[in-house]
A and B are shown apart, each in its own frame.
Chain A
Amino acid sequence: MKEKEFFETLLSLLVSFLIGGIVIVLMGYNPLEVYEQIFRGALIGKFNLGGTLEKFVPLLLTGIAFAVSSKVAVFNVGVEGELYLGAMAAAWIGFAVKGIPSIVHISLALGIAMLVGALWAAVPGVLKAYYKVNEVTTTILLNYVAQYFTSYLVNYPLSAQKGTPQTPNIEVSAKLSSIMPPSRANTGLFIAIAAVIFVYWLIFHTPYGYKIRSVGTNSMYAEYIGVNVKRTMVEGMMLSGALGGLAGAIEVLGVYGYFLDGFSQGIAFDGMLAALIANNNFALTTVLAMFLAILGNGALSMQRYTGIPESLIRTIIATFILLATMKGLFEIKKYRRVTLSGKNNRVEERV
């Protein structure tokens, strides 16, 4: 089953790159050179590789956040809002708290950001578990509330008064140190990977994780074996929200150094799509998050070198995701093949 999914994803990828290649040829460029330039621009050189890793971190965390919520059968579309609130919380701790050692400062900022994200995610979680309110709707709506709220904070009480809507810079003690100097990649990468490994261990290798998974796969069975389904649902959402908050905090502490109004522009939605294509498989989500980061970062440098607009690559990515969401697309062809061979068998029998 897993192999088949992998195969289908790969096939969607090839088809979308083929379509993209045809468009590139029609525009009068060599598609192989263009694709090579994308991967070169994403992977070769410290600056390029660092840029890719910087983009990878929030995609990974938000993707896994979505996958975690799906494990309790809740679709958390609100990761974007949790990311914003977590980022704001981290920025506030980062510039308002002064004179504490770096490790304490960073842990405090990350911890508060995760707490804020978790509490924010608990709202749609409670509404879903106890009142059966559709979580996709509430999370989409609450994203706007979170975004407007942080926009208010960054424009009025917490503004740095700089002309751009941003908070004051965080203290040096709160900064995550960079790992590839010219780029903005930072130690947040290791924090993110550690967080993902921890969540993976929690969900797949502990009794608590068994509780979570049982709620997602069969809530009636979970109820029967004595799991408090409603509570577990809320807890799963909070875990997901904490990851979203962490993603936002790393963006602020590692990449920006302050909170910028509307900085995310849908990072969490890209992460969510990675999880959706991967069918919430943790390993595949990670691979896809990396892949999207490579394409996103490489497209920018390709635009600089070849003059092909970066939006073409975004189009190819979207086509790829669209094909990958169609779970039945390649199945049907297989089904036909099976029936054909079935017919052949029958013919042989008659002969």
Chain B
Amino acid sequence: MWDFLQNIFNYSLIHATIRASTPILYATLAAVITQQADILNVGIEGIMLTSAFTAVSVSYFTGSWLLAVLAAMLVGLAVAGIIGIAHLKYKGDVFAVGMTVNILALALTRFFLNYIFQTNGSFYSEKIVPIPKIHISIFANNEILDSIFNNYSLFEIIGIALVFSLWYLLYRTIWGLRLRSVGAFPLAAETAGINAFRKKMEVILYSGLIGGLGGAHLSLGYSTMFVENMTNGRGFMGVAAMYFGQANPVIAWLGTLLFGLADSVGSRLQAYGIAPQFILMIPYITTVLILAISLSRKIKKEMMLKSSLRGS
């Protein structure tokens, strides 16, 4: 029993968790930044899928991962632009628009996979250049340190840096304050001279850039291939993690680590013939519970405030 637990929960789990959580992290940050302006962006899944495809094709044709990442971000921006225009300019329900963009992305990537590469299902080639991994030779001598600190894909590290820079931007700058005011009370923000429309459009576009990075990481860092529907719900996991952290990037990051941990432990359990499904459920159930508890406490608090006012 002890051996078994040691085989599942050992030091290599740290790397595995970060590896599994990073694609979700980008989706989460993309969801966080729009949620701060009170926009529930469920189209991240589609943004990531199209940019993952773009990254693989550009890397295949040019042999440059940097160009591939840039192209992926541009495509992410374009898809986010569609969401922004459809939602903000033409008053489409943001949820419906997001869901449709996901379907559109799935169909478009399947179509181009078939049209450009003449394959179905997945595309892999030696000519796809992946995003480089970071290797620090000081750690290479020690097995444990090597596992924990070495061989991260570049964007796994950038992702963590992005968490804290986004936190700083949102909570410590004027830009962030204005953005959050648009999310909290757009009328008041407008009165204070903030253009809510432009602010909202801006963050949707930013979420496209972040989602584009995430897509590129998914197909060139996390793996080196494109598979139909390879995002596989990660956009929604990102939305879930965003809710886990209630739009705070740092707490949301912890949420993505929980998803990553569940995923890694689940796949290890499966190797032992144990059903992984219950472990995989944990992040979702935890998020629902956190939402329910935090909101019921908020309601209780409000009720207590009310009754104390009546007493005075």
Interface residues of A (CB under 8 A from B): 27, 75, 77, 127, 131-134, 136-138, 140-142, 144-145, 148-149, 151-152, 155-156, 269-270, 272-273, 276, 309, 311-312, 314-315, 317-319, 321-322, 325-329, 332
Whether B92 contacts A145 by the Cβ 8 Å rule is no
B140 CB-CB contact with A under 8 Å: no
Whether B111 contacts A140 by the Cβ 8 Å rule is no
Report the count of interface residues on B (CB-CB < 8 A): 43
A-B contact pairs, 14 of them (CB 8 A): A131-B295, A132-B299, A133-B288, A133-B292, A136-B95, A137-B240, A140-B239, A141-B285, A273-B96, A273-B99, A315-B104, A326-B90, A326-B97, A327-B90
Whether A276 contacts B295 by the Cβ 8 Å rule is no
Which residue of B has the minimal Cβ distance to A156? Answer: B275
Whether A318 contacts B110 by the Cβ 8 Å rule is no
B contact residues around A332 at 8 Å (CB): 90
Whether B295 contacts A133 by the Cβ 8 Å rule is yes
A contact residues around B13 at 8 Å (CB): none
Whether A276 contacts B90 by the Cβ 8 Å rule is no
Which residue of A has the minimal Cβ distance to B274? Answer: A156
The verdict on A155 contacting B295 (CB below 8 Å), with A315-B107, A326-B92, A328-B90 known, is no
A contact residues around B296 at 8 Å (CB): 131
Known: A131-B295, A322-B97. 19 other contacts (CB 8 A): A77-B95, A131-B296, A133-B288, A134-B243, A137-B243, A140-B42, A140-B239, A272-B99, A276-B96, A311-B107, A311-B108, A317-B107, A318-B107, A321-B100, A325-B86, A325-B100, A327-B91, A327-B93, A332-B90
The verdict on A326 contacting B86 (CB below 8 Å), with A132-B295, A276-B93, A318-B103 known, is yes
Chain B 216-239: CB-based contact to A (< 8 A → 1; otherwise 0): 000000000000000001001001
The verdict on A311 contacting B110 (CB below 8 Å), with A131-B296, A276-B96 known, is yes
A contact residues around B92 at 8 Å (CB): 322, 325-328
- Top 6 nearest A-B pairs by Cβ distance? A314-B107, A326-B90, A318-B104, A311-B110, A152-B277, A311-B111
Chain B 238-271: CB-based contact to A (< 8 A → 1; otherwise 0): 0110010000000000000000000000000000
In-complex Cβ contact of B96 among A144, A309, A315, A325 (8 A): A325
Whether A329 contacts B90 by the Cβ 8 Å rule is yes
Bound Cα distance A133, B290 (Å)? 10
Whether B100 contacts A318 by the Cβ 8 Å rule is yes
Whether B86 contacts A322 by the Cβ 8 Å rule is yes
B284 CB-CB contact with A under 8 Å: yes
Whether B91 contacts A311 by the Cβ 8 Å rule is no
Bound Cα distance A325, B92 (Å)? 5
B106 CB-CB contact with A under 8 Å: yes
Report the minimum CB–CB distance from A128 to chain B (whole Å): 10
Whether A322 contacts B281 by the Cβ 8 Å rule is no
Bound Cα distance A326, B91 (Å)? 6
Bound Cα distance A199, B30 (Å)? 39
Chain B 268-308: CB-based contact to A (< 8 A → 1; otherwise 0): 00000001011011001101100110011001000000000
